Amino acid sequence: MSLWKAIVTRIGYGLLLLLAVLVLNFTLISIAPGDIADSIAGDMGGADAEVIEEIRERYGLNEPFYVQLWKYMSGVFRFDLGYSYFFNVPVTEIVLERLPATLLLVVSAQVLAIVSGTFLGVLAAKNPRGILNAVVTFLALFGFAAPVFWTGILLIIAFVSVIPIFPVGGMRDVTVEGGFIIETLDLLYHLVLPMVTLASIYLALYSRLARASMQEVLGADYVRTARAKGVPERTVLYKHALKNALGPVITVAGLQFASVISGAVVVETVFSWPGLGTLALQSILARDTPTIMGILFFSSLVVIVFNILTDIALRLVDPRIKSG
């Protein structure tokens, strides 16, 4: 199958999956106890049955389920996700405003985890009985055992209270001015602690996975043949072995992307990062159903897109998948 044909096929499957996710999300939220009318009535300090019924009629909550579903799906196809009663803005507008912050955090943490984890795994695979292998094993156990919010709190205590070199939270310092470069550096400065916190657990995963995959590849016949021919060890590791060892790492990275976004919700809350995580928490507390649905839609879309990109990356790295 050619690369372009595979991409088109994966996009088709992705659209079907997105459609199924939208229907499932709408169904689960619809059957959950309470609705927007109850939330608005609670904000008003209470309301009688007649007022609540008027609110339900205004939002179309008294219509049959299939009518509500059809209106919602037709709105999604027009890229209209409804109106947030809590934030008083269109859902699409507020989600798109917060989405770049979440993507910046998630993608940077994922890249940091993959690059650092793979590098540590390769170094550990070179000397499986050495001290570095023990360090990588310790990091993996610590990363898996430590809750992400606990790691974030420890980093705040260490680098904000004890050694105050990083900001406590937020995405920018409103007092910083000086053009694009200065503001970008300030953004990266605020990004360090949330990125390291989110990357910590996945760095442990990728380091162990890269170590195991690299050890398996280093025992292959073509690697022994390359060494027997006198090929430099650095070339054997990073040109011949690493490319074939990356397949499992890339596959797991694509599968883990959904959990990375879930972890970002906690990290954004700890560091007051203005992304979809903090927006989701505010929307859930306010029972702002349209905004919650919008967040779920964009989160699902991002996961599906990155899974397609993972598929493409695997085909570029492993020629066996391309030929198959």
Do 143 and 126 reside in the same domain of the chain? yes
Among 52, 72, 91, which residue terminates a domain? Answer: 91
| Cα–Cα distance, 187 to 253 (Å, whole number) | 25
Do 158 and 63 reside in the same domain of the chain? no
Among 91, 121, 144, which residue terminates a domain? Answer: 91
Residue with the bigger pLDDT between 99 and 229: it is 99
Do 81 and 134 reside in the same domain of the chain? no
First to last CA, the chain: 6
Looking at the predicted structure, is the pLDDT value of residue 60 above 60? yes
Do 293 and 313 reside in the same domain of the chain? yes
Find the mean pLDDT for residues 84-108: 90
- What type of residue is 319? P
- Structurally, the chain folds into a number of domains equal to 2
Looking at the predicted structure, is the pLDDT value of residue 2 above 90? no
Tokens of 123: 């170094």
Q: What is the pTM of this model?
A: 0.83
In sequence order, what are the residues at sequence separation of 6 or more whose Cβ sits closer than 8 angstroms to the Cβ of residue 145?
none
Do 231 and 142 reside in the same domain of the chain? yes
Find the mean pLDDT for residues 153-173: 86
Residue 48 pLDDT grade (very low, low, confident, very high; cuts 50, 70, 90): low
Do 123 and 34 reside in the same domain of the chain? no
Instruction: Specify whether the CB–CB gap between 198 and 112 falls below 8 A.
Output: no
Do 62 and 111 reside in the same domain of the chain? no
Domain that holds residue 123: 97-323
CB atoms within 10 A of CB 92: 21
Find the mean pLDDT for residues 51-56: 74
Q: Residue 121: phi, psi to the nearest 5?
A: -65, -40
Among 91, 107, 135, which residue terminates a domain? Answer: 91
Instruction: Specify whether the CB–CB gap between 114 and 273 falls below 8 A.
Output: no
Do 48 and 102 reside in the same domain of the chain? no
Is the Cα torsion angle 195, 201, 202, 207 positive or negative in sign? positive
Closest by CA position to 268, among listed 169, 202, 192: 169
Do 277 and 198 reside in the same domain of the chain? yes
Per-residue model confidence (pLDDT) at position 1:
56
pLDDT tens-digit readout, 125-150: 877 777 877 877 777 777 777 888 88
Choose from 95-99, 127-131, 161-165, 315-319 the range with maximum mean pLDDT: 95-99
Instruction: Specify whether the CB–CB gap between 117 and 206 falls below 8 A.
Output: yes
Do 102 and 236 reside in the same domain of the chain? yes
Per-residue model confidence (pLDDT) at position 102:
92
Per-residue model confidence (pLDDT) at position 44:
62
Tokens of 139: 């990091």
Do 114 and 261 reside in the same domain of the chain? yes
Residue 318 pLDDT grade (very low, low, confident, very high; cuts 50, 70, 90): low
Instruction: Specify whether the CB–CB gap between 25 and 297 falls below 8 A.
Output: yes
Per-residue model confidence (pLDDT) at position 20:
92
Residue 89, helix vs strand vs coil: strand
Q: What is the DSSP letter of 153?
A: H
Find the mean pLDDT for residues 96-107: 92
